[in-house]
Amino acid sequence: MTSAHPAEPRDGVTVTARGVVVVRGGRRVVDEVDVDVVPGRVLAVTGPSGSGKSTLLTVLAGLVPADGGTVDPADRAARTGVVFQGYGLLPVLTAAENVELPLQLRGLDRTVVRDRAQAALARAGLADVPDRLAEELSGGQRQRVAVARALVVAPGLLVADEPTAELDADTAAVVLAALREEAGAGAAVVLATHDPEVAALCDDTLHLVDGRAER
């Protein structure tokens, strides 16, 4: 079935990471990891809690530097949409206002901002909550607002940390469909997940154990 709000075609960002090391508290939480995130594909990063999934995603997104290795391109953060595990919403803003923020920072026309935010919320299955404050939403709804905020910028690289963790199976399917639509439009998509069923729906998998990629 064709979406009423299809993803915008765009040029994806190919991320090439080699020998990535991240040190926290004297310990390598990411240890010599090689990974490619490729436009048109969805990569699942799996592994137990504490295996380095979230840390690796922040490096791939360009939010924090690696302590060792290389990650290219260096300017990827400007073209990246991020879904944070803790949502990262402003509680006193509405769902729509949270989604609109990154577009407002780009100085886009108010009508364009509103329309794109409404479309992104609809793609995340939240067409009915645009005017509710973030602090009034359930955990699952907040998670989907965070997804919509990443979708709204039509990113070349989309990085999502546990984007379905708070969702039931039906709602998770809506979110995963939206992420696959992003890849189909040309984006490179990488997500972290504990759920083997979610990982099975992705194109590629990188499994981490104690910060190292397990082949």
- pLDDT by residue (tens digit) across 75-105? 999 899 999 999 999 999 999 999 999 999 9
* Residue 56 forms part of a structural domain: yes
| DSSP conformation class of 133 | B
Burial class of 87 by CB neighbour count within 10 A (0 to 12, 13 to 18, 19+): buried
| DSSP conformation class of 6 | P
Tell me the CA distances in angstroms from 125 to 25, 145, 187, one per residue in order: 40, 9, 20
Model pTM? 0.94
> Per the structure, how many domains does the chain have?
1
Tell me the CA distances in angstroms from 108 to 146, 153, 157, one per residue in order: 20, 11, 21
Residues found in the chain: 215
Distance from C-alpha of 71 to C-alpha of 171, rounded to nearest angstrom: 33
Q: Helix, strand, coil proportions of the chain in percent (round to 5)?
A: 35, 25, 40
Report which secondary-structure segment, H or E, holds 19: strand 15-24
Smallest CA-to-CA distance from 87 within 49, 124, 50 is with: 124
* Residue 6 forms part of a structural domain: no
* Residue 8 forms part of a structural domain: no
Burial class of 212 by CB neighbour count within 10 A (0 to 12, 13 to 18, 19+): middle
Q: At what angle do helices 110-123 and 95-105 cross, to 10 degrees?
A: 130
Q: Are strands 15-24 and 27-37 parallel, antiparallel or unpaired?
A: antiparallel
User: How much is the average pLDDT of 64-81?
Assistant: 95
For residue 210, what are the domain limits? 15-214
Residue 6: band (very low, low, confident or very high) from pLDDT cuts 50, 70, 90: confident
Q: Which residues have a Cβ under 8 Å from the Cβ of 76 and sit 6 or more positions away? A: 13, 15, 61, 62, 156, 157
- The overall longest dimension of the chain from CA atoms, in Å, is 50
Helix (H, G, I), strand (E, B) or coil at 64: coil
User: Is it the case that residue 160 has pLDDT exceeding 90?
Assistant: yes
* Residue 199 forms part of a structural domain: yes
Which pLDDT score is estimated for 171? 95
* Residue 2 forms part of a structural domain: no
By the 8 A CB rule, do 183 and 40 touch? Answer: yes
- pLDDT by residue (tens digit) across 173-200? 999 999 999 999 999 999 999 999 999 9
Return the minimum-mean-pLDDT range out of 4-13, 55-64, 171-180: 4-13
What's the CATH number where 100 sits?
A: 3.40.50.300
By the 8 A CB rule, do 76 and 62 touch? Answer: yes
Return the minimum-mean-pLDDT range out of 5-9, 37-41, 132-136, 163-167: 5-9
